[in-house]
Chains A and B, each alone.
Chain A
């Protein structure tokens, strides 16, 4: 680089730095008091989104943001390292079922006293239950998700199948299996078009608690005698979160899991490993996913599609939960962090955040503003959430429960003995709960 180029490069750099300084000066000029920087740890493409943050900053000009983004697969590891450090983030965006773990560990700040009037009546009960611990609310929640069963209209109609569109007509799992078999193209276990496509979560393998624990839970009955196996099968963890023995390895659960196993083995209608975009590429007739998939298809309709409620054995059930937002207990600015967290999940800011990705809001008052959820097919999600929604078995050791039960369910899908695996899972989870 010659001297002239070097001079021009230096001039350009100085101009750029000067511009940055001017921006900072403008922001500082609007701030009358002490400037505060809130450090946010979130996953890429997640809320809080730029538009509501900028709007909030206009009302709170002394607050700046420093954002650190971590892929979802590494989020829990990162939180466990950063939260205990000497300089933890002020705001965490994390997986909702971990609320109790983080609350019990003293990571999250209780925000009950910051919640606006009317929040209790407006929030979905499942969201409040998931984000509360020992009488305190630790996260207001912003969006809510659940899963339903998408289908490829062309493939399904070609097979002469008409999936139900309302909850009262929902299939049972054996009925759904008949539909998978009728629609599947090619030999069982290695077809060209699968009856039931693989999940897009994780590495695409079956077994995730969020999606697959509902098989056995739906074989239970929440209205049965609390000492009965049917009752315990439905809840999959004791109400106080301290015991799992007799909740996973029940006759009802084993029967449901034997059916679940057959999907991947004897019937061969679902793959054991992930196939990227299988449903969107027309390689699967049915597919289980959150409203995010529907929102993406509405924007870019690659295929003709519909939604049918999640099938069940005895009691329809779907898991709720999403990523959520919380303030850290050791934040250097707890008041401002709590105010930001609550503001982002209430009123217009909540609407701005939820509408960005297309999942469901956690506030009932926002439902009418999302017209797409007022009609079929997306209405199925709202109906399921309100009628069938249950949080994943909550407790301060959820992350450990999730890992151990996922491993057991995956081993069942791969052909292991359901009773043996569930007994082993109970033993391992109980060891964690007792520790």
Chain B
């Protein structure tokens, strides 16, 4: 048995030996296992370093320069000016604000809807297979296709959604052309697209719950609602944390809706931060400023994820 498996098995049975002061010299077999492990890990680690961490370092360096992609050789060192510009001008604050609202809307809507769908999928009700397919279809559909389809649906003059609203006696809504409705429309589209993924994660969590706990609660006289509220939801806290973090990160990284449907408008009401970064680098030709925005976004995402992990830390285990 390889060393790692031995360790896992020992951990699982709680039979790990206490650490002693001196470490035994590695055997030939252990050394060979380490070399194999390093060999298997090396390709991925090299790719990770070259395509993830190295660009991050380059991005951090670029954030203190002012340059255009058209002529990077003429880059000027500007110190922290790109960062002070974020405070001096409104664009960064507006874009981060819009992105946080978008993320908040997506997370607040996806979590309950995905959980409700997962409960349905976990039950023995009819048509579960069909519902699974239906809710997973948007997840596996290209974002470009989804964005174009929703652009047609949300057409302010002759869109399908306005057609339905007209039947209900409600007049045409401007949707993506309105500063008030554009962001909620993008949240609705993202909910539709991502809820299937959230539901599958919750379903996996539900199917991993020990049945004896819910059965014991039922024998003790708890109603279904009480079981759900006092047993199932607390025990799913790890899954919930995972879905919250994943959905938050997805939302903070959203690009396609702003790029394909609204170009950040009207009046920057959908100017999501990743689109703003793209726009700053490639259209406005302020690559240094775009790098500075990216550095701030990276720190913000890290901070939010850490805060979520701290706040939603699991208090129950099974």
A binding-site residues for B, Cβ under 8 Å: 76-77, 79-81, 83-84, 101-102, 105-107, 189-190, 203, 271-273, 275, 399-400, 403, 407, 410-411, 414-416, 421, 428, 431-432, 435
Nearest CB to that of B154 among chain A residues?
A: A273
The listed residue (B69, B177, B279) touching A403 by CB distance below 8 A is B279
Decide yes or no: A415 and B177 within 8 Å by CB, A80-B282, A190-B157, A190-B172 being known contacts.
yes
Q: A414-B174, A431-B89 are in contact. Are A84 and B179 (CB under 8 A)?
A: no
Q: What 16 new A-B contacts, CB under 8 Å, besides A273-B156, A273-B157, A403-B284?
A: A105-B70, A106-B71, A107-B71, A189-B157, A189-B172, A190-B157, A190-B158, A272-B157, A272-B177, A410-B263, A410-B266, A414-B266, A416-B179, A416-B267, A432-B286, A435-B286
Are B266's CB and A411's CB within 8 A?
yes
B contacts, CB < 8 Å to A: 66, 68-74, 89, 91, 151, 155-158, 172, 174, 176-179, 263-267, 279, 282-286
CA distance A428 to B283 in the complex (A): 13
Contact A400 B285 (CB under 8 A): yes
- Partner of B282 from A77, A105, A410 at Cβ < 8 Å: A77
* Interface SS of chain B: loop
CA distance A426 to B78 in the complex (A): 25
Instruction: Name the B residues within 8 Å of A203 (CB-CB).
Output: 151, 263
Contact at A102–B157, with CB atoms within 8 Å? no
Complex CA gap A80/B178 in Å reads 32
Cα separation A80 to B71 with both chains bound (whole Å): 8
Instruction: Using known A-B contacts A77-B282, A400-B283, A403-B283, determine if residue A414 contacts B265 with beta carbons closer than 8 Å.
Output: yes
Are B68's CB and A105's CB within 8 A? yes
CB distance from A248 to the nearest CB of B (A): 16
Question: Are A102 and B266 neighbours in the complex by a CB distance under 8 Å?
Answer: no
* Distance, CA A107 to CA B73, complexed state (A): 12
Considering the complex, give the chain A residue whose CB is closest to the CB of B71.
A105
**Chain A residues with CB under 8 A of B174:** 272, 414-415
Which residue on chain B has the smallest CB distance to residue A417?
B267
Contact residues in B for A105 (Cβ distance below 8 Å)? 68, 70-71, 74
Q: A399's contact among B158, B178, B283, by CB below 8 Å, is which?
A: B283
Q: Which of B68, B71, B89, B156 contacts A272 (CB 8 A)?
A: B156
Closest to B151 in A: A273
Are the CB atoms of B285 and A80 closer together than 8 Å?
A: yes
**Contact with B70, one of A107, A272, A410 (Cβ below 8 angstroms):** A107
Whole-angstrom distance between the alpha carbons of A102 and B69 in the complex?
A: 11
Residues of B contacting A414 in the complex (Cβ-Cβ under 8 angstroms): 174, 177-179, 265-266
Contact A273 B179 (CB under 8 A): no
